[in-house]
Structure 1
Amino acid sequence: MSGESPSALTTTGVYSAPAAEVDRFLAQARAELRRLWPVEAWAAVGRGAKIVDTRPEHQRRAAGEIPGAIVIERNHLEWRLDPTCDSRIPEADSRHIQWIVICAEGYSSSLAAAALRELGLDNATDVIGGVDAWVAAGLPTIHPSQPTAPRGPGE
């Protein structure tokens, strides 16, 4: 049928449901990334990489925040990290920075990191499993009384 995705034959010989287009889009985005496990991301921060937390406030309140992470709302991400944009944050002064995007589970962060790479930020990547995996790995989180406000232009 026109417009339908073909079913895929699994290794067990059973046909699976067709993949959603967003799953294909996600796989394509991830193919361009060298994604990091949470412990790798934390080690990269120690070497100068910057973690960018794109989760909404309610998720940061529930799971906590990553110490030192830069909070930028997803809908502003490209403008805040593009070193050629007037709406960038001060840390976005080079295309060579390793930006590590993190979300709740590691899905939207992959799409965000791929978008940053499209802007020429070739070291952009994301965290496998997101904050859920970060917490499960026992890495540091903080629970401030007031969630960190998202960064704006020049902040």
Structure 2
Amino acid sequence: MVAVERPLGIDELLERVRAGYQRIEAPEAHEAAQSGAALLVDIRYAALRERDGLIPGAVVVERNELEWRLDPQGSHRLPEATGHALRVVVICNEGYASSLAAASLHQLGLHRATDLVGGFQAWRAAGLPVEPVRSQGPVGPATS
């Protein structure tokens, strides 16, 4: 009889992927973005961005496009996806989906990818800059 491995639950999966990299707190992410040392990538869906606003300077990339937009070797990459050494901070609403997204970026060789502990809600709770969504035009970097 072949032994079948027990399936992971989501909590265990999150614990495992988070053990593979150092997560970042909101103040450190803000400082890294301000100094040009990190690219903030907002993967929240449109309704949450419209409700809560945007982080100035963050690039908005829908979760289902993340790997295609950040793969430095990909034909659909963003201009900011300059190489595998890029420090990417993935931001979701509360810091769960971003952990899985960061792990996926690691599989693409983006070994410095991480995510924001507590997500956008932690950013806002820390009193860091947030701006309203201005229009329904093309999605790209938020401007200050």
Q: TM-score, normalised by structure 2?
A: 0.88
Does 2:12 match 1:24?
yes
2:59 maps to which residue?
70
The Cα of 1:47 is off from its aligned counterpart by 2.7
1:99 maps to which residue?
88
The Cα of 1:147 is off from its aligned counterpart by 5.2
2:133 maps to which residue?
144
List alignment gaps of at least 5 residues for structure 1: 6-19
Alpha-carbon contact 2:68-2:76 (below 8 Å) kept: yes
Q: TM-score, normalised by structure 1?
A: 0.82
Q: Distance in 1 between matches of 2:35 and 2:87?
A: 10
Moved over 4 A (4+): none
Q: Report the AA paired with residue 21 of structure 1.
A: G
Does 2:19 match 1:38?
no
Q: Distance in 1 between matches of 2:119 and 2:138?
A: 20
Q: Distance in 2 between matches of 1:131 and 1:147?
A: 20
Residue-by-residue CA offset, 1:48-102 (whole Å, 9 max, x unaligned):
2100000011000111100000000000100100011101011112111100000
Does 2:121 match 1:132?
yes
Q: Report the AA paired with residue 69 of structure 2.
A: R
Matches within 5 A, 1:52-71: 52-71=41-60
The Cα of 1:149 is off from its aligned counterpart by 3.9
Q: Distance in 2 between matches of 1:63 and 1:30?
A: 26
Equivalent of 1:82, from 35, 47, 71? 71
1:17 maps to which residue?
none
Change (3 A) 1:120 1:128: same
Q: Report the AA paired with residue 72 of structure 1.
A: V
Q: Distance in 1 between matches of 2:106 and 2:33?
A: 19
Q: Distance in 2 between matches of 1:71 and 1:148?
A: 12
Alpha-carbon contact 1:61-1:147 (below 8 Å) kept: no
Does 2:116 match 1:116?
no
Q: Distance in 2 between matches of 1:148 and 1:142?
A: 16
The Cα of 1:150 is off from its aligned counterpart by 3.5
Q: Distance in 2 between matches of 1:39 and 1:72?
A: 22
Q: Report the AA paired with residue 130 of structure 2.
A: T
Count of residues in correspondence between the two structures: 137
Which structure is larger by alpha-carbon Rg, 1 or 2?
Answer: 1
Alpha-carbon contact 2:49-2:133 (below 8 Å) kept: no
